[in-house]
């Protein structure tokens, strides 16, 4: 749990460094984001943040998520179905594999794929600013 605090700290500092005010509500949300092992949506983040500080409103969650995204402190994902989902940005870059049956998200990384993407873009006269790679999967049949 101590590492969680360190992550929350860092995010807070990143905000202060940019002159963004760190309010009680923002602290609560940062803590929740630092603790999250999954990719919660705004509603779920609101629910969790209220357990820390019950003055946090959903509107503030949305506003703060936008600020955090602008500051590069979190990433916003738009997986299939439902609304946006979020995660702290202090992890090395990765893509996502989504379990179609459970909704679970597995993170993975492939330098080869990244490289191929850059090549493709270049061939078309473009530069990749960012990308989205999501694998919607089902557990493999296991002969039981």
Q: Which residues here bind a copy of itself, judged by CB under 8 A?
A: 78, 80, 97, 99-100, 106, 108, 110, 112-113, 116-117, 120-122, 124-140
Residue 106 CB, nearest approach to a copy of itself (Å) = 6
Interaction partner, residue 122 (a copy of itself, DNA, none; CB < 5-8 Å by kind): a copy of itself
Nearer to a copy of itself, 63 or 122 (CB): 122
Distance CA 49, CA 132 (A): 28
45 Cβ neighbours under 8 A, 6+ residues apart: 29, 32, 33, 36, 61, 65, 86
Q: Match 């700290």 to its residue by tokens.
A: 9
DSSP string, 44-58: HHHHHHHHH-TT--H
Query: What is the Rg, in whole angstroms, of the alpha carbon atoms belonging to the chain?
Result: 17
Interaction partner, residue 100 (DNA, a copy of itself, none; CB < 5-8 Å by kind): a copy of itself
Nearer to DNA, 49 or 88 (CB): 49
Residue 90 CB, nearest approach to DNA (Å) = 20
What token pair was written down for 13?
């500092």
74-113 positions binding DNA, by CB under 7 A? 82-84
Greatest CA separation found in the chain?
Answer: 58
Query: Which residues of the chain form contacts with DNA (CB under 7 A)?
Result: 16, 20-26, 41-43, 55-60, 62-64, 66-67, 82-84
């Amino acid at each position: 749990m101590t590492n969680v605090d360190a992550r929350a700290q860092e995010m807070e500092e990143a905000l202060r460094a940019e002159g963004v005010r760190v309010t009680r509500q923002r602290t609560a949300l940062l803590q929740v984001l630092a603790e999250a092992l999954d990719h919660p949506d705004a509603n779920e983040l609101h629910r969790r943040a209220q357990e820390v500080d019950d003055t946090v409103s959903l509107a503030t969650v949305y506003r703060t998520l936008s600020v955090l995204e602008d500051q590069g402190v979190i990433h916003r994902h738009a997986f299939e179905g439902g609304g946006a989902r979020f995660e702290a940005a202090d992890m090395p870059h990765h893509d996502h594999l989504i379990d179609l049956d459970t909704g679970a998200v597995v993170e993975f990384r492939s330098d080869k794929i990244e490289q191929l993407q850059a090549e493709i873009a270049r061939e078309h006269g473009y530069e990749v600013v960012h990308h989205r790679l999501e694998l919607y999967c089902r557990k493999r049949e296991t002969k039981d």
